[in-house]
A and B are shown apart, each in its own frame.
Chain A
Amino acid sequence: MADKKFTMHVDVDAFLPATDEEKAYMVQMRPSSTFFKDGVKRLLKNKVATVSFILIILITLTAIILPMFWPYSYDAQLGIQPGKPVDASFANLKPMEYGRSELKRIEDGEKVFPHLFGTDSAGRDYFIRIVYGTRISLAVGFFASIIVLIIGMTVGAISGYCGGKVDLVIMRIVDIIYSLPDMLMVILLSSVLGTVLTPLIEGTVLAKIGSNIISLFIVFAVLYWVSMSRLIRGQILSLREQEYVLAARAAGASGSWIIRKHLIPNCISVVIISTALQIPNAIFTESYLSFLGLGVNAPMPSLGSLASDALNGITSYPYRLVIPAVVISLIVLSLNLFGDGLRDAFDPKLNA
């Protein structure tokens, strides 16, 4: 072979089958990574988002687990015990102070669990009320976002998928709801729904949740799905026209295959991100309404209603306002920062 080399200017060796060594060279050195793994990796690199995520997890776990074994409950008025006169010494305790009967028990050598943040004007342990209020606020935010997600996704997908007249009608409705001033409508609806719902749900499981929270959910279901459905409609419309969808169709892929393998995976990051950003929004709205007295039903606490109650005794007990204020701000801030981190990590396209 070597003697023919001067006539042909092509290196014949180049056409020999590759040796194992050469094949090994072509093999990718790092293991292949999925989109999800890539995103998580990017997310973990973002320190702010990671810290916020840890904070959210900590707050959530505290809110769920702590009330289970805390010696006090959120609605027990410590000064009122069956068969005894009301012990007023339990009301408005400063942090780490004890009521009169508790002091006696301590003198007797018993151990009494301290009231970390004191008690409120009705003699209820304030620390557990804060924890419980956090739980309510988080739950409302989470479920409201899920409701918004389900309705928004369904309507958006129908609108984007069907197109034509259906799309036109849905989008006009969306336009109008979108231009309604949301807070005013929320206040109006929840002020009325509260009175309408109370007799309806009496005696059912729903009564435990309280008419105000249910009306809050209804309000979210009615008003807040529009931006989500707009987003999903836009996604579906643009994804439908992508070349790879056309390629898949040309290769004989069925409609359900295209939806499952192409449309949903490409939509899902946007959906998750906007749901994550919806949660602080819902918590914000809930606390705002609770502050105006339209939120959770007493004696159930939420961070907003705790802040609102604290306004009455603000001169003597300012910490009662500061604590829920700090917790709300912390939750909203960390959820927002985490949502931003999610967006940066999972949607490189948005991050132009």
Chain B
Amino acid sequence: MNTKTLVYIFKRILLAILTVWVVITVTFFVMRAVPGGPFMSEKAITPAAQAALEAKYGLDKPLMQQYFTYLRDIVTKMDFGPSLKQRGRDVIDIIADGMKTSAKLGVIAAFSALGAGLVLGAVAALRRNKLIDKVIMVITTAFVSMPSFIMGSLLLVIFAIKMRVLPANGSTGAGLVLPIITLALYPMAYITRLTRSSMLDVLGQDYIRTARAKGVSGPRIIFGHALKNSLIPVITYFGPMLAYIVTGSLVVEQIFAVSGIGRAFINSITNRDYPLIMGTTIILAALIVILNLVSDILYKAVDPRITLE
């Protein structure tokens, strides 16, 4: 750890904080720009009741004051205010509830994508231009170019409706299998391709030839020498992958009726539940920003050759 690295990390953290602040600000003002305010959809509301409602949610105060109150509550208490449509529930509680399922979904999907992707990528690289390599490449190309909602719908048709081997929905147990597969397939395909190309790159290096010349066995070369270095590009994909899983979960939870944070988000948009929309956007955005930060710093940590600007 030299000063340059520390300065870089410091800069990145600063940028991350700035980004989250921009997200909060954009979200706040964009939501306030909606004509008629959040109570527009409620029909036949008397002016007095409207005023009372606005006073209750602090909407009668000047805009800037509302903004600073909102910002202060988030920073000091992680408080995003109450939900407009789900009476008596705080936004943060709804998010925390949804997070439980979504986090499980996302983490399992991420790890299975990582595991399967690494193995498939290594196999493809070692059997380069053989049949198995070609099969893997064709399948992963297909997976990469298929939007997650299409993938999810097709899996739903095939496994839940036609073959009836897995339940079509549910937030626990077997019901989570299809959503996890849907979420994992794209990152898995991407990691496979990434691992394959970086493994091929590494296998062409001089130190691998030296190891071969010394008489090191095949598996030892792969696991002892090649694998570690070919992992480096995969680490850079760590951040984007989690971002993908977070946004992918929005549609996947919708398709499979999983009661996670993604579904809560989409429902809040259709219900025009503004505090919930804002809270979910901010929390998910912060999550993605933090994960990107971690993946960038990790990238530097594993490969000291990389110079950062």
Residues in chain B near residue A185, CB distance under 8 A: 23, 26, 281, 285
Whether B146 and A329, one on each chain, are in contact in the complex, defined by CB atoms closer than 8 angstroms, is yes
State whether the Cβ of B19 lies closer than 8 Å to any Cβ in chain A: yes
Whether A184 and B154, one on each chain, are in contact in the complex, defined by CB atoms closer than 8 angstroms, is no
Whether B35 and A291, one on each chain, are in contact in the complex, defined by CB atoms closer than 8 angstroms, is no
The closest CB in chain A to the CB of B265 belongs to A187
Whether B150 and A328, one on each chain, are in contact in the complex, defined by CB atoms closer than 8 angstroms, is yes
**Known: A311-B255, A329-B146. Is A187-B269 also a contact (CB below 8 A)?**
yes
State whether the Cβ of A284 lies closer than 8 Å to any Cβ in chain B: yes
Residues in chain B near residue A310, CB distance under 8 A: 153
**Known: A294-B269, A307-B153. Is A196-B34 also a contact (CB below 8 A)?**
yes
Of B33, B142, B144, which contacts A192 at CB under 8 A?
Answer: B33
| Distance in Å: Cβ of A332 to nearest Cβ of chain B | 5
Whether A184 and B247, one on each chain, are in contact in the complex, defined by CB atoms closer than 8 angstroms, is yes
State whether the Cβ of A159 lies closer than 8 Å to any Cβ in chain B: no
| Distance in Å: Cβ of A308 to nearest Cβ of chain B | 8
Interface string of A173-186 (1 = CB under 8 A from B): 00110011101110
| Distance in Å: Cβ of A189 to nearest Cβ of chain B | 7
Inter-chain contact total with CB atoms closer than 8 Å: 118
Of A199, A288, A336, which contacts B145 at CB under 8 A?
Answer: A336
Whether A181 and B284, one on each chain, are in contact in the complex, defined by CB atoms closer than 8 angstroms, is yes
Of B30, B142, B254, which contacts A189 at CB under 8 A?
Answer: B30
A181 to B280, CA, bound (A): 13
Whether B247 and A183, one on each chain, are in contact in the complex, defined by CB atoms closer than 8 angstroms, is yes
Whether A318 and B161, one on each chain, are in contact in the complex, defined by CB atoms closer than 8 angstroms, is yes
A321 to B243, CA, bound (A): 26
Interface residues of B in 141-165 (CB under 8 A from A): 141-142, 144-150, 153-154, 156-157, 161-162
Of B19, B144, B149, which contacts A179 at CB under 8 A?
Answer: B19
| Distance in Å: Cβ of A167 to nearest Cβ of chain B | 14
State whether the Cβ of B122 lies closer than 8 Å to any Cβ in chain A: no
Whether B281 and A188, one on each chain, are in contact in the complex, defined by CB atoms closer than 8 angstroms, is yes
Whether A292 and B34, one on each chain, are in contact in the complex, defined by CB atoms closer than 8 angstroms, is no
The closest CB in chain A to the CB of B31 belongs to A192
A336 to B34, CA, bound (A): 37
State whether the Cβ of A293 lies closer than 8 Å to any Cβ in chain B: yes
| Distance in Å: Cβ of A192 to nearest Cβ of chain B | 5
A175 to B220, CA, bound (A): 42
Interface residues of A in 260-310 (CB under 8 A from B): 280, 284, 287-288, 291-294, 304, 307-308, 310
Residues in chain B near residue A195, CB distance under 8 A: 34-35
Interface string of A108-146 (1 = CB under 8 A from B): 000000000000000000000000000000000000000
Residues in chain A near residue B149, CB distance under 8 A: 287-288, 291, 304, 307-308
State whether the Cβ of A209 lies closer than 8 Å to any Cβ in chain B: no
Whether B156 and A314, one on each chain, are in contact in the complex, defined by CB atoms closer than 8 angstroms, is yes
Residues in chain B near residue A189, CB distance under 8 A: 30
Whether B251 and A292, one on each chain, are in contact in the complex, defined by CB atoms closer than 8 angstroms, is yes
A328 to B147, CA, bound (A): 8
Residues in chain B near residue A288, CB distance under 8 A: 147-149, 251
Whether A179 and B153, one on each chain, are in contact in the complex, defined by CB atoms closer than 8 angstroms, is no
State whether the Cβ of B277 lies closer than 8 Å to any Cβ in chain A: yes
Interface residues of A in 300-351 (CB under 8 A from B): 304, 307-308, 310-311, 314-315, 318, 321-322, 325, 328-329, 332-333, 336
State whether the Cβ of B180 lies closer than 8 Å to any Cβ in chain A: no
State whether the Cβ of B234 lies closer than 8 Å to any Cβ in chain A: no
The closest CB in chain A to the CB of B149 belongs to A291
Whether B154 and A322, one on each chain, are in contact in the complex, defined by CB atoms closer than 8 angstroms, is yes
Whether A291 and B19, one on each chain, are in contact in the complex, defined by CB atoms closer than 8 angstroms, is no
Whether B285 and A180, one on each chain, are in contact in the complex, defined by CB atoms closer than 8 angstroms, is yes
A50 to B289, CA, bound (A): 39
State whether the Cβ of B116 lies closer than 8 Å to any Cβ in chain A: no
**Known: A292-B251, A292-B266, A333-B142. Is A184-B285 also a contact (CB below 8 A)?**
yes
State whether the Cβ of B7 lies closer than 8 Å to any Cβ in chain A: no
A188 to B29, CA, bound (A): 11
Seen from chain B, the residues whose Cβ lies within 8 Å of a Cβ on chain A are 15-16, 18-19, 22-23, 26-27, 30-31, 33-35, 141-142, 144-150, 153-154, 156-157, 161-162, 243, 246-247, 250-251, 254-255, 265-266, 269-270, 277, 281, 284-285, 288-289, 292
4 A-B pairs besides A184-B284, A187-B281, A287-B149 with CB distance below 8 A are A288-B149, A314-B156, A325-B154, A333-B141
Closest 8 CB pairs of A and B: A183-B247, A333-B145, A325-B150, A181-B288, A179-B19, A291-B149, A332-B145, A318-B157
Q: Can you list 22 A-B contacts (CB < 8 A)?
A: A176-B15, A176-B22, A179-B289, A181-B23, A181-B288, A183-B243, A184-B23, A184-B288, A185-B26, A185-B281, A187-B265, A188-B26, A189-B30, A191-B277, A288-B148, A291-B147, A292-B250, A292-B269, A318-B162, A321-B153, A325-B146, A329-B142
